[in-house]
Amino acid sequence: MRALVIGGAGFIGSHLVDRFLEEGFQVRVLDSLDPKIHPGGKPSYLSPRADFIKGDVTDPTVLLHALRGVDVVSHQAAYQDYMPDFSRFLHVNAVGTALLYELIVRENLKVKKVIVASSQAVYGEGQYVCAQHGAFLPVPRSQQLQEGKWEILCPQCGLESNPVLLCEAYTNPYNQYAVSKLAQEKTALGLGWLYSIPSVALRYSITQGPRQSLFNHYSGVCRIFVSRALRGKPLLVYEDGRQTRDFVHVQDVVEANMLVLRKDEADFQAFNVGSGRSTSVLEYAQIVRDKVGCAVDLQLPGEYRRGDNRHSVSSIAKLSAVGWSPDRGLSTILEDFLEWVERSGGIPEQMADAYSDMKESGVVLAAIH
């Protein structure tokens, strides 16, 4: 069996490359080596046993070359950022996926399965229940954030409402990344069904662990908190820190990918891949401080990021019914990440100032209390 991993030099993709090789696959990697993520070029952790092609998923010539002769496609590449270059999200994530299927169909390629990496972001602001008015899908918070009112309010009575675990049936994306990921998975599952190309979309929660980029703005709270804590700098927390998230270990994500690869009953469906457990940002910050062993301060300046969700924790019942469950908790995630940072020589001296860039672009804003 021959596998193509698009984005195979990246965080999740490279772990999948290793797993495919362990299971006896011949592996090909297509990756653009975006300098924001790979400033040193092809990473040393990428197995030399994989056939490597440098190129972009939106380039039809390069993509067709990468696709020829493969049995399985693992599409892990994505454009991820907080910056307002809206069109690029759809171009890379959605159009690139459409091109993938276009080439498979046009060239009559004998691809047996395609797995695309989607995201928990497709749920937008989440799924909520008002004690009086029942379930609803909220619109993004905007005016209330400016006033420092963080929790989701019922649109009918204006009272604070309760988040529920995100289930696959109800998507509600608003920001550019979320819209592009839903477009990507709809393209994959729809065209896969129409042209009998077995396809699966996996909606990842916040995936963390070894090889997570230390340079990418989007690599999020793990990189940001750990790098600041190791330098003795205060941890900057948006809103009031009580917003909740769902963290999953990269190896559990790999297991989910391999499971749906083997399971025909997973075909043409989308599945959440997360922990199913709620962790507040304040709780996360405390665990980071404990693991790093530094008594750094927390700063809550009353700022927020445009487009951030208040609570995002996925139900994993659907994928669990197929036979998957996560084995590694948040403590293991951070231990493995810290060990990898140490093996890599520590936090780089020169790192992009994502916070300043986001403030300048109007992504980070201050609430007016």
pLDDT in tens, 25-40: 999 999 999 998 898 8
pLDDT at 345 exceeding the cut of 90: no
**Separation in Å, CA 331 to CA 209, 213, 274, 280, 354:** 11, 19, 15, 14, 26
**Coil, strand or helix at 315:** coil
What integer pLDDT is reported at residue 36 of this predicted model? 84
How does strand 364-366 pair with strand 303-305?
Answer: antiparallel
Q: Which amino acid is at 234?
A: P
Tell me the two tokens of residue 54.
Answer: 């440098």
Residue 130 and residue 136 in contact, taking contact as beta carbons nearer than 8 Å: yes
List % helix, strand, coil for the chain (3-state, nearest 5): 35, 20, 45
Confidence of residue 217 (pLDDT cuts 50, 70, 90): low
Work out the angle between the directed axes of helices 60-67 and 96-106 (0-180°, nearest 10). Answer: 60
User: What is the DSSP code (8-state) at residue 173?
Assistant: -
Mean pLDDT over all residues of the chain? 93
**Coil, strand or helix at 220:** helix
* DSSP secondary structure of 244-265: EE-EEEHHHHHHHHHHHHH-GG
Question: What's the alpha-carbon Rg for the chain, to the nearest Å?
Answer: 20
Of 86-100, 140-154, 344-358, minimum mean pLDDT range: 344-358
What integer pLDDT is reported at residue 70 of this predicted model? 98
CATH number at residue 158: 3.40.50.720
pLDDT at 349 exceeding the cut of 80: no
Q: How many domains, the chain?
A: 1
φ and ψ of 130, to 5 deg? -95, 135
Residue 98 and residue 191 in contact, taking contact as beta carbons nearer than 8 Å: yes
pLDDT at 280 exceeding the cut of 80: yes
For residue 105, give its domain range. 2-366
φ and ψ of 271, to 5 deg? -135, 140
Confidence of residue 82 (pLDDT cuts 50, 70, 90): low
Please give the average per-residue pLDDT across 220-249, as a whole number. Answer: 91
pLDDT at 308 exceeding the cut of 70: yes
Give the residue among 266, 8, 10, 270 at the shortest CA–CA distance from 113.
Answer: 266
Cα–Cα dist 155/159, whole Å: 8
pLDDT in tens, 109-165: 999 999 999 999 999 999 999 999 999 999 999 889 999 999 999 999 999 999 999
Query: Any residues with CB less than 8 A from the CB of 310 and at least 6 apart, and which?
Result: 125, 126, 141, 150, 151, 152, 163, 239, 243, 244
Q: Which amino acid is at 237?
A: V
- Segment (H or E) for 183: helix 176-194
Strand-pair partners of 28: 4, 51
Cα–Cα dist 242/245, whole Å: 10
What integer pLDDT is reported at residue 177 of this predicted model? 93
φ and ψ of 367, to 5 deg? -75, 145
Cα–Cα dist 74/57, whole Å: 12
* Global pTM value: 0.94
Confidence of residue 254 (pLDDT cuts 50, 70, 90): very high
